[in-house]
Structure 1
Amino acid sequence: MKEEISYKEKEEISYKEAGKFEDTRFEKIHNVIFDSSEEASIIVAHEIANLIHRKNELNEPCVLGLATGSSPVKVYEELVRMHKEEGLSFANVITFNLDEYYPIDKDNIQSYFYFMHDHLFNHVDILPENINIPDGKVSAEQLRQYCIDYEMKIKSYGGLDFQLLGIGRTGHIGFNEPGSHINSGTRSITLDYITRIDAAPAFLGIDNVPRKAITMGIGTIRSAKRIVLLAWGINKAEILKNTIEGEISSKIPATYLQEHSNTTFVLDSEASSELTRVKTPWLVKACVWTEELKFKAVVWLCELTNKPFLKLTDKDYNDNGMSSLLTEEGTAYDLNIKMFNKLQNTITGWPGGKPNSDDTYRPERSIPAKKRIIIFSPHPDDDVISMGGTFDRLVEQGHDVHVVYQTSGNIAVSNEEALKFVEISKAFNTNSSELESIINFLKNKSKNDIDSVEVRKLKGLIRRSESLAATRYLGLPDSNVHFLDLPFYETGTVKKNNLSDEDIKIMCNIIENIKPHQIYAAGDLADPHGTHKVCLDSLFEALKRLKGKKFMDDCWVWLYRGAWHEWESYQIEMAVPLSPDQVLKKRHAIFYHQSQKDGVMFQGNDNREFWVRVEDRNRETAKKYNDLGLADYAAIEAFKRYHF
């Protein structure tokens, strides 16, 4: 008789079947890679649901440790769906949240109490007395005893059956910052500066982020019977590599999970990008050498040896785990020339295609000579920040360029900036009660107040006027500038709505009206508050719907990256060099976005202003090309083609 598979084994099998799993000598924590965070979140939600069902059948409570932040949102959405559509009951569930800011009120929209009720508890049948979230308003005198009691309450239920985690860029789990002890329990802690920087967008500025928190300890987390850690996006890639492949260290508290016998890290493809088996698979096992992988490997070898393509030797390949590639290609000499030519062919001063030329080895088509082009910009400044030089080149070369701003960007305008504009308006219209109302709202606005419709309209108009100033400077007529104000964005808060059919229809309409030969869009998914990803998803869905249209047969899509990351050298398929004059012109175009200068609200983890960081990034891309043996340009803007 076949032995029954255990619950743990069933879940491990389901992860292996659904995601990309591979046990390598480099990795010390079981991890599974999914193509998308949405797919992964559903798998995790179903594991939690199965556990709830199983505990219910045993007539036992299901004790869950829950996390907050952007990572588990889709998990909670799926659990809510299963409750409403499939009858999943939370009547036997007891929850303990990992952490909470301190001090903070429960009704503060940035509190984790508010987050959990908004995303999960208000939508399921969990008993209020079974919800446990650290109290952000407990008095300082009672705080130590409160933490001890929280710890003892978890133990009174026999510990956590399942702990859901995210991971911070410092390597923190919960709010266990670097330096946390392996046996630490629930306690108060001072937040790391990087953690506060990452939280700043939600709080509309780092000055509003609490400096302390209450958190379960490492010891509390490690006592859970099952741990699943979620990590999405390229921002988490480096810390995940250090956590999964590095040594156990208090400097990266998540590494303590290496000693937990039932932990799985669930990653999307971006978050896994630095793992050895993903970044350099030839160091792990024998590879199927696709053309893409060959190029990636040779670029990596150049960077490792600090040599340009044409100076790599057979020994360089053999000494660094790439002898099988040489066996397939013949000699280093032949392979080097092939890779050099491949990169050289990405360079073009004609991003819209060079007329009357052989385009066999050019990134873009020569026909039609004058193209209709859409530049999609998630916010009203990503166009000039990310591809201002290419934008300028396309206009100068006579293409019919249209800039389409997908969101109003109103949330990124500070109250002080808005007040400045409305007070100027009031000076010209002293009898306007509407303007007076806006002034009073801004002057008396509290941290929890969401901008009124009138204030959001004002802030959106500020972004519009700045955008038009920049596009006029680059020679684009106002008739070719479009503001979509996609509805998903218009919440007045950092938290946005899910994409709706209305959003997709708006995207479809603008594409169908212009019938572009080229589309440029932001492929940078590392922006601090997720708008780029939603805007990209809206484009991809629109392209799906329009794919059958005849004009789409001639439409190519190029993805640029924003102010946070650049494409890797091996990913670039079109590189547009900029002269020093063009770099300066791009800078001036960015300067027209005055509300986003000098202390911008959504700075991310980089204190440099946007124009500084993109100039540095474009300069660094040019340097990488030069280091690989190509010409020495002042700057390069980079693009990757998306095939739909």
Structure 2
Amino acid sequence: MAILNLLEETRFEKLPVAIYPGQLAASIQVAHRIAKVISDNNLEGRNTVLGLATGATPMAVYSELVRLYQQDGLSFKQVITFNLDEYYPMLPDAAQSYVAYMNQHLFDHVDIDHNNIHIPDGTLNEDDIPAYCLAYEKKVSEYGGLDIQLLGIGRTGHIGFNEPGSAPNSGTRLVTLADLTRSDASPDFGGKENVPVKAITMGIGTVFKAKEIILMAWGQKKASIIKKAVEEGISANVPATYLQLSDKVQFIIDTDAASKLTRFDTPWLVKDCLWDDQQIKKAVIWLSNKVNKPILKLTEEDYNNNGMAQLATGRGPVYDININIFNKIQHTITGWPGGKPGVDDSQRPERAEPAIKRSLIFSPHPDDDVISMGGTFIRLADQGHDVHVAYQTSGNTAVWDHDAMRFVEFLMDFSNYQQLGSGQLELLYHDIVGFLNAKQPNQADIDVIKTIKGLIRKGEAIAGARFVGLHNDHIHFMDLPFYETTKTQPSVNYDRDIEQTKALLKKIKPHQIFAAGDFADPHGTHKVCFDILYNALKQLRNENEAWINDCWIWLYRGAWHEFEIHEIEMAVPLSPAEVERKRNAIFKHQSQKDKPVFPGDDSREFWVRAEDRTRETARAYNKLGLAEYEAIEAFVKFTF
């Protein structure tokens, strides 16, 4: 019976998928599978031939393999490796090379014979590449083929660097990288313009020859492409779908990467559900969008024809379900994000009392506050709350070099105009010019340039917060240490960041906190900042800080991602005038206009993204049958 139930749940999935609660547990499992093959072959005196991948996905796998070597005696002397790919052109000692990656994460820490390591050569003349690729293929075959091939998956659906359009029988070759692939790689190269346009990659046909293929994926950013690869038909537009043709493949993913698979996202389509309140809310909203009707117009036939007959029978009549969900969504809408004083707050997202709240907005970068919740920020200040904003990092990496030069040259001209002694300033200026003229892609700035860029963003943040209505003593610049140390150290201790956050929290004792919950941020800064805040709050609770029991935490999202409608617990509508005020607050961040240093895969300016996102949320509410607003900013309450 259990097998039949599992088959029913997974009937949309066209290949085997193993799901783990987190990437660490999954990575350890993969590492142990590899280690068993190596150990078995070592006992029989045979070589083990591994196809290896790079990037963030397999890091924990390699870490566990290193541990197994160092602590459990796993030997790599009989292991031969072939890496999937390499950028072209690429020097092997460049920081972005896959040679450097593999040495750093695996090869330098185990007893592998370096003659047994094969990584595509990014230094070849382009005319020599076809013959080199044929020889690479031949060498794999001479060793008897790959025992295990590790794969990640890109957001274009590429495996290796087999981009959309690749053939299922393709071999090792030189390819042109997709624009999205280059955008995803841009933080490692100091901008997309520095990412190589081409790469050498094993082909899909080469991958298919492996005795065992393991594709790994972690996090919500991979959820959409995993759904396509697993559930949709085979298509050259998503090369990973070719893996459906193999009986030797398994996808190993975490729960976040699995979140859009049918059995998790819309489970009522494949099995009987436990219909709790949140599941009902999600299903009714899904049904409303599916049949393109407002919630209050949904019928029993709509329920029955779309996998929700069990809900209609068990919780019906359906009109009662519709009214209940409509009211729940309506009660998320409030023009009083700090609570409306003197009213019944039982159906409102925020408490009525205290009437004047101390509100603390944490902004990971100096513009996340106004981009993500600028309208709510304005509303809180206008309604008289004691609003503070804390900028957690300097954001100095997101300033163009030419903007830094413009400010330095302004200072030079100002000092000359005022006839100030500027000898030391001139020396500093020449040092800056000399460094920037010789600067290599992704090279860290010298300290004085970091300071200048940080001050640029600080000035913009002050201008934005003042425009909203804050005084200087309510604007806090934390400059959390991790932001600099993570650029130079492989592992970072966050104790100082946590202590600094605790000190600010104890000073303000907020009634409500707004924090970034947009963990799709491509730089990872939002997640780190939230983890620091979470640990600070946990420690304060353990230290019996009384105020913390009355502190509510609201998560916002911004330029990268939005909450699903069924997740939203507070929706703050904005008038056209408030949308314009928010836009003007964002405009104070001039260094992020017209093109930010790290735009991600969205070419729109941040203010455009913000307005489009909030208008889309308003349209989504209206489509469900709610009132029509100009824009809506959305929040989810976090309980710790």
Normalised by the size of structure 2, how large is the TM-score?
Answer: 0.93
**In structure 2, how many angstroms separate the alpha carbons of the residues matched to 1:611 and 1:36?**
34
Q: Name which of structure 1's ranges 575-584 and 522-531 shifts more when overlaid on structure 2.
A: 522-531
**In structure 1, how many angstroms separate the alpha carbons of the residues matched to 2:67 and 2:458?**
38
Q: Deviations over 1:259-305 (max 9, x none)?
A: 22232222233322221111110001111111110000000000001
Deviation of 1:73 after TM superposition, in Å, equals 2.6
**In structure 1, how many angstroms separate the alpha carbons of the residues matched to 2:408 and 2:72?**
51
- Residue type of the alignment partner of 2:160: G
In structure 2, which of residues 502, 510, 515 is the aligned counterpart of residue 508 of structure 1?
502
Name 2:266's counterpart in structure 1: 280
3-state SS in 2 of match to 1:366: coil
3-state SS in 2 of match to 1:174: coil
Name 2:575's counterpart in structure 1: 579
**In structure 2, how many angstroms separate the alpha carbons of the residues matched to 1:481 and 1:75?**
43
Deviation of 1:438 after TM superposition, in Å, equals 1.7
**In structure 1, how many angstroms separate the alpha carbons of the residues matched to 2:370 and 2:491?**
26
Deviation of 1:498 after TM superposition, in Å, equals 4.3
Deviation of 1:618 after TM superposition, in Å, equals 0.2
CA contact (8 A) 1:451 1:492 kept: no
CA contact (8 A) 1:499 1:538 kept: no
Name 2:599's counterpart in structure 1: 603
Instruction: Confirm or deny that 1:93 pairs with 2:79.
Output: yes
Instruction: Confirm or deny that 1:189 pairs with 2:175.
Output: yes
Q: Name which of structure 1's ranges 318-327 and 432-441 shifts more when overlaid on structure 2.
A: 432-441
Q: Deviations over 1:339-381 (max 9, x none)?
A: 0000011011111111111111111111222222221111111
CA contact (8 A) 1:525 1:532 kept: yes
In structure 2, which of residues 44, 58, 63 is the aligned counterpart of residue 72 of structure 1?
58
Instruction: Confirm or deny that 1:456 pairs with 2:450.
Output: yes
- Residue type of the alignment partner of 2:552: W
Name 2:158's counterpart in structure 1: 172
CA contact (8 A) 1:373 1:517 kept: yes
**In structure 2, how many angstroms separate the alpha carbons of the residues matched to 1:598 and 1:208?**
20
Residues 333, 23 of structure 1: alpha-carbon distance in 2 compared, 3 angstrom cutoff: closer
- Residue type of the alignment partner of 2:397: I
Instruction: Confirm or deny that 1:36 pairs with 2:32.
Output: no
Q: Name which of structure 1's ranges 443-452 and 171-180 shifts more when overlaid on structure 2.
A: 443-452
- Residue type of the alignment partner of 1:213: A
CA contact (8 A) 2:485 2:492 kept: no
3-state SS in 1 of match to 2:356: coil
Residues 230, 99 of structure 1: alpha-carbon distance in 2 compared, 3 angstrom cutoff: same
**In structure 2, how many angstroms separate the alpha carbons of the residues matched to 1:169 and 1:494?**
28
Deviation of 1:88 after TM superposition, in Å, equals 4.3
Name 2:529's counterpart in structure 1: 535
- Residue type of the alignment partner of 1:190: T
Name 2:310's counterpart in structure 1: 324
Name 2:538's counterpart in structure 1: 544
Deviation of 1:494 after TM superposition, in Å, equals 10
3-state SS in 2 of match to 1:95: strand
Deviation of 1:492 after TM superposition, in Å, equals 8.2
- Unaligned stretches of 5+ residues in structure 1: 1-15
In structure 2, which of residues 110, 120, 124 is the aligned counterpart of residue 138 of structure 1?
124
CA contact (8 A) 1:187 1:214 kept: yes
Residues 227, 301 of structure 1: alpha-carbon distance in 2 compared, 3 angstrom cutoff: same
1:105-124 matches, within 5 Å, as 105-124=91-110
3-state SS in 2 of match to 1:141: helix
In structure 1, which of residues 476, 484, 490 is the aligned counterpart of residue 478 of structure 2?
484
Name 1:473's counterpart in structure 2: 467
Name 1:447's counterpart in structure 2: 441
The count of aligned residue pairs is 626
Name 2:334's counterpart in structure 1: 348
Name 2:375's counterpart in structure 1: 389
Deviation of 1:525 after TM superposition, in Å, equals 1.6
**In structure 2, how many angstroms separate the alpha carbons of the residues matched to 1:636 and 1:118?**
46
**In structure 2, how many angstroms separate the alpha carbons of the residues matched to 1:100 and 1:272?**
28
Name 1:6's counterpart in structure 2: none
Instruction: Confirm or deny that 1:642 pairs with 2:612.
Output: no
Q: Deviations over 1:190-238 (max 9, x none)?
A: 1122222222232222221211110011011111222221222333222
CA contact (8 A) 2:224 2:260 kept: yes
3-state SS in 1 of match to 2:174: strand
1:293-312 matches, within 5 Å, as 293-312=279-298
- Residue type of the alignment partner of 1:617: R
CA contact (8 A) 2:8 2:270 kept: no
CA contact (8 A) 1:201 1:494 kept: no
**In structure 2, how many angstroms separate the alpha carbons of the residues matched to 1:35 and 1:259?**
27
3-state SS in 1 of match to 2:164: coil
3-state SS in 2 of match to 1:490: helix
Residues 402, 73 of structure 1: alpha-carbon distance in 2 compared, 3 angstrom cutoff: farther
Deviation of 1:500 after TM superposition, in Å, equals 2.7
Residues 378, 490 of structure 1: alpha-carbon distance in 2 compared, 3 angstrom cutoff: same
Q: Name which of structure 1's ranges 384-393 and 269-278 shifts more when overlaid on structure 2.
A: 269-278
CA contact (8 A) 1:411 1:493 kept: no
Instruction: Confirm or deny that 1:246 pairs with 2:242.
Output: no
Q: Deviations over 1:148-192 (max 9, x none)?
A: 111122222222222221111221100001121111111111112
Residues 87, 224 of structure 1: alpha-carbon distance in 2 compared, 3 angstrom cutoff: same
Q: Name which of structure 1's ranges 218-227 and 40-49 shifts more when overlaid on structure 2.
A: 40-49
Residues 83, 396 of structure 1: alpha-carbon distance in 2 compared, 3 angstrom cutoff: farther
**In structure 2, how many angstroms separate the alpha carbons of the residues matched to 1:365 and 1:52?**
60
- Residue type of the alignment partner of 2:516: A
Deviation of 1:459 after TM superposition, in Å, equals 1.5
Residues 286, 120 of structure 1: alpha-carbon distance in 2 compared, 3 angstrom cutoff: same
Deviation of 1:447 after TM superposition, in Å, equals 2.0
3-state SS in 1 of match to 2:206: helix
3-state SS in 2 of match to 1:202: helix
Deviation of 1:43 after TM superposition, in Å, equals 3.1
Q: Name which of structure 1's ranges 411-420 and 259-268 shifts more when overlaid on structure 2.
A: 259-268
- Unaligned stretches of 5+ residues in structure 2: 416-421
CA contact (8 A) 2:9 2:270 kept: no
Identical columns (%): 57
3-state SS in 1 of match to 2:609: helix
Q: Deviations over 1:498-535 (max 9, x none)?
A: 45333333333322332222121111121222222222
Q: Name which of structure 1's ranges 62-71 and 333-342 shifts more when overlaid on structure 2.
A: 62-71
Name 1:4's counterpart in structure 2: none
- Residue type of the alignment partner of 1:120: L
Name 1:589's counterpart in structure 2: 585
**In structure 2, how many angstroms separate the alpha carbons of the residues matched to 1:21 and 1:390?**
47
Residues 463, 293 of structure 1: alpha-carbon distance in 2 compared, 3 angstrom cutoff: same
Instruction: Confirm or deny that 1:560 pairs with 2:546.
Output: no
Q: Deviations over 1:112-150 (max 9, x none)?
A: 222222333333333322222111111112111111111
Instruction: Confirm or deny that 1:338 pairs with 2:332.
Output: no
**In structure 2, how many angstroms separate the alpha carbons of the residues matched to 1:601 and 1:208?**
12
**In structure 2, how many angstroms separate the alpha carbons of the residues matched to 1:23 and 1:131?**
42
Residues 519, 83 of structure 1: alpha-carbon distance in 2 compared, 3 angstrom cutoff: farther
In structure 2, which of residues 204, 210, 216 is the aligned counterpart of residue 224 of structure 1?
210
RMSD after superposition: 2.2
